[in-house]
Amino acid sequence: MTSFAPAVRNHRRAALAVVLCAGLTAALTACAGEDLDKGTNGVGRLSAAEIDKKTRAAADAADAVRLAGKLVSKGGTYTLNMRLNAEGGTGSVTSKQSTFVLLRIGDELFLKADSAFWNHEKSDQGEKGDQAAADKLNGKYVKVPEGDPTYKQLRGFTDKEILLDGLLSLHGEVSKGDRDKISGVRTIQIRGGKGEGGVLDVSLEGKPYPVRVARGGGGGSVTLADWGKPFALEAPEEADTVDYGGQLPKSSG
């Protein structure tokens, strides 16, 4: 008697192979046809070095930016919330023990803090805290003399060029990292080294602005937004300004 079982099994195997091959072919075709950069600014197709160059150029050309986050340096740890433009900047800086507001217009730099800040800073300098003097400065803008030792440090927080130059510098060989979405904006990463030299998340929408920076060596992380969005810098009213009457206390980290 002739057996049809082998023929049936062979037919089923052939049919299964056809189905699997067809499914695999469809999947590969779909993957091959998917363009991750469709609808983007196209920088995702570039090399890491080219992306780095373009994002630095976009940042340098922008009239303004808002940055918020934490910076860690030898001088201490600072939490920033600043708006910067070519004329100066304004916003808040929080160190380990205090929070203060900075405002710079051109070369004029003002600092505003509460009485606790002034009383604490005076005490740190080995002086007896003068509550009356601290109360006088409470909530007032104090102009920082250009010759004061803290002027250069404080000005750096309000200088777009200086701040971005330090933030956006990657160290080591630059490579491309993951794609992500930050605050609804598609991004691509570029990394210094394997990430230990810093990581930039660059926008894939509109101009290739950096939208997040993670500094190498645990140097903090900062988000950047409102690129090119103008804002006004206005000098404080005379009634809101007080002359400190001497060298400012050295700001502690």
> In the 8-state DSSP scheme, what is residue 32?
H
Task: Kindly give the pairing relationship between strand 88-94 and strand 99-105.
Answer: antiparallel
Q: Which residues are CB-contacts of 195 (< 8 A; sequence separation ≥ 6)? A: 177, 214, 216
Angle between helices 48-61 and 160-167 in degrees, nearest 10: 170
Residue-by-residue pLDDT tens, the chain, 253 positions: 455 455 545 555 555 454 455 555 444 444 555 788 899 999 999 999 999 999 999 999 999 999 999 999 877 899 999 999 999 999 999 988 789 999 999 999 999 998 888 876 554 544 544 677 778 888 899 999 988 888 998 999 999 999 999 999 999 999 999 999 999 999 999 999 988 999 999 999 999 999 999 999 889 999 999 999 999 999 999 989 987 656 565 544 4
Contact (Cβ atoms closer than 8 angstroms) between residue 118 and residue 130: no
